[in-house]
């Protein structure tokens, strides 16, 4: 990997104000993404989490404040150079009909290519590596639109892997996938982070997945960060109620021990607590199971 | 037992040590290009032999190399060659421009004759004919100006912190209808003679082309087609959507403006030289894409397909009805549409939708 051995870059936001057509979505937000870790941004619909991710990837220009990569404003970095350091996979991208998996993953090499050098040895190595990492080597000649939803999402992630950036931003990478394929994609994210030390930031809808797969969780509500830290330290019923407006119980995940959210809903009442109550103070770590 | 042939590779990478050039070769694309070029060259030569005075191929060659008698030389070099050259250049210009519009907007319907560029040129030219009795070079200038003005309007009206392909198409369709109405009004307003002259131009016409038509278009094609081919590398990320392209380091807005400027230049000069030859800009890239088996309209293949379409349409226009020379635009649509429909139907049957 080209970034192996280098210190992981630090991505941060400073006094960020994000707006669409004058409608402020995020205001005065500060965030430092832990380098070399997996960060999950969670929150209710329209809380500004995808907007924040778009700004971190400079797809959206802040109305005020700045996104910094290793201390420098990303707007000062040339587009191509930034694309060699930071990759973004937007939500549900669409490939042109008939485009093969190999061609799609090859597109990930664009920021490394020039007019005359369109398929270097490094390009070939990166694409082969990305196909192997996502288990798509045998499907390289198949059109992307003929794949299953899970395979398709892996193909897009393979494109982002081939880009060989040390920071990877994923906007709801598990949307529209069935549960098995969601876990498949999230396991892949862990692989990317563990094997190559990539910094990963992803927006996730499923709070339980975020608790299990993130090293660092950022919970947002109405454009502000309500809490952040390791899921085991910040997630409890009070936080879920505050962020999602959901009445629930939080219990340790029987597999990983990370917090697991069990919604209650209007038609059920919690059984007598076995190990913990639904309400305990925010910021307080969950009792070990 | 015969050993089964290995499946043909869709893309073969190549890498040279010196000069340090590397890329991907697509054998099917190259083969299709060679075939189209050969067919176009054939149609070009046949076009030079046919006419009121048939000239055998040997005499055509002699005339082109300056060894024929004065009469033959005049017929071939002064009458037929400019017509054939205009056909090739218009086909190339429309084919490439169509491919660029379709790639830029990610929409196969976004050709310059669907989003108002051609209509803008038409309105300007018809206004020139009807209101000012303009002719000759003035019409070419008006055609270029009309196309460029419409494109500028599409771009500025579509601008909201950047443009998107979708917005450009919708605004273009709106402008297209405004221009069509204006053209119809001018035709109704003009005298019968002027209206007839304007209609002759409006359908796309290669009759009576001279080097005055060839030279400006040739210069435009020589300049803008290489630019279009160079921009092709950047459009590969654009095909994946604006956000993905930007994430892959493509300056989306600048690339889109460069594509628009290049494509509009080609359409403007092509339309100025031969009028809006129907359907070529829309169909040539789509036919080329299906022939080459790519997921995007390949620019060079589109250029050759466009050239072949216009040359073949012109041959048919001159030969199909004895004694009558139809305008090429009448035939290009009638000839191109069945080809495209056949390719689409075949693709549907094969299970991979058009």
Q: Where are the alpha helices (DSSP H) in chain B?
A: 27-49, 57-64, 70-73, 81-105, 117-132, 137-157, 165-189, 192-202, 211-238, 242-247, 252-274, 280-292, 299-319, 328-349
Q: Nearest residue of B to residue A107 by CA position?
A: B237
**In terms of Cα–Cα distance, which of B261, B204, B209 is closest to B231?**
B261
**In terms of Cα–Cα distance, which of A245, A259, A267 is closest to A288?**
A259
Which pLDDT band, with edges at 50, 70 and 90, does A276 fall under?
low
- CATH number, domain containing residue B288: 1.10.3470.10
| Residue A256 CB-half CA count within 13 A | 13
| Residue A189 CB-half CA count within 13 A | 32
**Phi then psi dihedrals of residue A34, to 5 deg:** -60, 125
Chain B residues touching A98 at Cβ < 8 A:
293-295, 352
Q: Is residue A158 within a helix (H) or strand (E), and if so which, with residue range?
A: helix A149-162
The reply to whether B212 falls in a domain is yes
Count of all residues that appear for chain A in the document: 289
Chain B residues touching A123 at Cβ < 8 A:
22
The reply to whether B5 falls in a domain is no
Q: Is residue B100 within 8 Å of B259, Cβ to Cβ?
A: yes
Q: How far apart are CA A82 and CA A94, in angstroms?
A: 23
The reply to whether B29 falls in a domain is no
Instruction: Give the pLDDT of chain B (354 residues) as one tens digit per residue.
Output: 444 444 456 778 888 877 778 888 889 999 999 999 999 999 999 999 988 888 888 888 888 888 888 888 898 999 999 999 999 999 999 999 999 999 988 888 888 988 999 999 999 999 999 998 888 889 999 999 999 999 999 999 988 877 888 888 999 999 999 999 999 999 998 888 888 888 888 888 888 889 999 999 999 999 999 999 999 889 999 999 999 999 999 999 999 999 999 999 999 999 999 998 888 999 999 999 999 989 999 999 999 999 999 999 999 998 888 777 788 988 988 888 888 888 788 766 554 443
Chain B residues touching A163 at Cβ < 8 A:
248
The reply to whether B270 falls in a domain is yes
pLDDT at B9: 60
pLDDT tens for each residue of A147-200: 998 899 999 999 999 999 999 999 999 988 889 999 999 999 999 999 888 999
On whether any CB of chain A is under 8 Å from the CB of B10, the answer is yes
- CA-based Rg of chain B, rounded to a whole angstrom? 21
Tell me which of A57, A84, A97, A159 to substitute to probe the interface with B (most B C-beta atoms closer than 10 Å): A97
- Non-local CB neighbours of B185 within 8 Å, separated by 6+ positions: none
Chain B residues touching A102 at Cβ < 8 A:
10-11
**In terms of Cα–Cα distance, which of B248, B10, B22 is closest to A100?**
B10
On whether any CB of chain B is under 8 Å from the CB of A88, the answer is yes
Q: For residue A110, give the nearest of B19, B241, B250 by CB distance.
A: B250
Between the CA of residue B43 and those of B34, B225, B307, B308, B345, what are the distances in Å?
Answer: 14, 22, 10, 7, 27
The reply to whether B209 falls in a domain is yes
Higher-scoring residue by pLDDT: B354, A84? A84
pLDDT at B322: 78
Contact B250 A118 (CB under 8 A): no
pLDDT at A274: 57
Q: How far is A82 from chain B (nearest CA, A)?
A: 7
pLDDT at B36: 97
Report DSSP letters for A191-208, one per residue.
HHHHHH--EEEEE-S-HH
Higher-scoring residue by pLDDT: A96, A280? A96
Q: How far apart are CA A31 and CA A216, in angstroms?
A: 12
Contact B13 A110 (CB under 8 A): no
Q: How far apart are CA B326 and CA B349, in angstroms?
A: 35
Q: Is the interface score ipTM higher than 0.90?
A: no
Residue-wise over A36-71: b if at least 16 C-beta within 10 A, else e? Answer: bbbbbbbbbeebbbbbbbbbbbbbbebbebbbbbee
Domain that holds residue B253: 37-47+54-344
Is residue A286 scored above 70 in pLDDT?
no
State chain A's mean pLDDT as an integer. Answer: 90
- Say how many domains are in chain B: 1
Cβ count near A5 (within 10 Å): 7
The reply to whether B22 falls in a domain is no
Determine the average pLDDT of the residues in A46-69.
Answer: 95
Residue-wise over B12-42: b if at least 16 C-beta within 10 A, else e? Answer: ebeeeeeeeebbbebeebeebbeebbebbee
The reply to whether B280 falls in a domain is yes
On whether any CB of chain B is under 8 Å from the CB of A138, the answer is no
**In terms of Cα–Cα distance, which of B142, B132, B116, B122 is closest to B198?**
B122
pLDDT tens for each residue of A232-253: 999 999 999 999 999 999 999 9
- CA-based Rg of chain A, rounded to a whole angstrom? 20
Share of chain A above pLDDT 70, in %: 92
The reply to whether B258 falls in a domain is yes
């Amino acid at each position: 990997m080209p970034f192996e051995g280098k210190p992981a870059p630090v991505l941060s936001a400073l006094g960020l104000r994000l707006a669409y057509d004058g409608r402020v979505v995020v205001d005065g937000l500060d965030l430092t993404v832990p380098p070399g870790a997996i960060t999950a941004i969670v929150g209710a619909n329209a809380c500004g989490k995808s907007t924040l991710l778009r700004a971190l990837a400079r797809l959206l220009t802040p109305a005020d404040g700045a996104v910094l990569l290793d201390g420098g404003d990303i707007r000062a970095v040339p587009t191509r150079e930034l694309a060699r350091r930071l990759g973004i996979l937007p939500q549900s991208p669409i490939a042109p009909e008939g485009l093969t998996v190999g061609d799609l993953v090859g597109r990930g090499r664009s920021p490394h290519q020039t007019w005359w050098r369109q398929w270097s040895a490094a390009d070939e190595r990166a694409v082969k590596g990305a196909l192997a990492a996502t288990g798509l080597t045998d499907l390289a000649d198949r059109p992307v639109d003929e794949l299953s939803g899970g395979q398709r999402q892996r193909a897009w992630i393979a494109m982002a892997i081939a880009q060989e950036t040390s920071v990877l931003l994923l906007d709801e990478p598990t949307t529209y996938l069935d549960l098995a394929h969601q876990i498949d994609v999230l396991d892949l994210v862990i692989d990317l982070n563990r094997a190559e030390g990539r910094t990963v930031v992803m927006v996730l809808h499923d709070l339980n997945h975020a608790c299990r797969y993130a090293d660092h969780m950022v919970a947002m509500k109405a454009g502000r960060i309500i809490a952040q830290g390791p899921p085991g330290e910040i997630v409890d019923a009070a936080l879920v109620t505050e962020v999602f407006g959901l009445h629930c119980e939080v219990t340790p995940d029987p597999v990983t021990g990370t917090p697991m959210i069990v919604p209650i809903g209007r038609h059920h009442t919690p059984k007598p607590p076995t190990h913990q109550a639904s309400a305990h103070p925010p910021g307080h770590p969950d009792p070990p199971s | 037992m015969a050993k089964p042939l290995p499946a043909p590779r869709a893309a073969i990478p190549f890498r040279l040590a010196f000069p340090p050039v590397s890329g991907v070769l697509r054998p099917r694309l190259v083969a299709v290009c060679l075939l189209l070029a050969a067919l176009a060259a054939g149609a070009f030569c046949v076009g030079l032999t046919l006419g009121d005075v048939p000239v055998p191929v040997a005499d055509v060659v002699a005339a082109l190399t300056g060894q024929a008698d004065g009469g033959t030389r005049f017929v071939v070099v002064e009458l037929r060659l400019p017509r054939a050259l205009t056909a090739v250049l218009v086909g190339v210009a429309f084919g490439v421009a169509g491919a660029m519009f379709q790639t830029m907007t990610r929409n196969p319907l976004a050709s310059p004759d669907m989003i108002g560029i051609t209509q803008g040129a038409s309105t300007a030219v018809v206004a020139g004919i009807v209101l000012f009795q303009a002719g000759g070079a003035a019409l070419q200038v008006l055609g270029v100006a009309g196309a460029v003005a419409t494109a500028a309007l599409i771009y500025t009206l579509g601008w909201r912190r950047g443009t998107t392909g979708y917005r450009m198409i919708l605004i273009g369709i709106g402008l297209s209808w405004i221009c069509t109405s204006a053209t119809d009004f001018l035709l109704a307003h003009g005298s019968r003679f002027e209206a007839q002259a304007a209609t002759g131009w409006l359908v796309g016409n290669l009759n009576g082309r001279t080097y005055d038509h060839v030279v400006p278009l040739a210069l435009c094609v020589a300049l803008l087609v290489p630019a279009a081919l160079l921009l092709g590398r950047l459009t590969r990320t654009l095909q994946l959507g604006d956000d993905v392209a930007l994430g892959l380091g493509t300056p989306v807005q600048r690339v889109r403006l460069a594509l628009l400027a290049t494509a509009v230049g080609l359409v403007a000069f092509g339309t100025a030289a031969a009028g809006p030859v129907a359907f070529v800009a829309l169909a040539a890239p789509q036919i080329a894409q299906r022939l080459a088996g790519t997921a995007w309209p390949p620019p060079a293949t589109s250029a050759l397909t466009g050239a072949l379409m216009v040359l073949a349409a012109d041959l048919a226009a001159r030969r199909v009805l004895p004694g009558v020379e139809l305008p090429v635009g009448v035939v290009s649509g009638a000839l191109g549409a069945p080809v495209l429909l056949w390719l689409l139907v075949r693709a549907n049957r094969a299970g991979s939708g058009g």
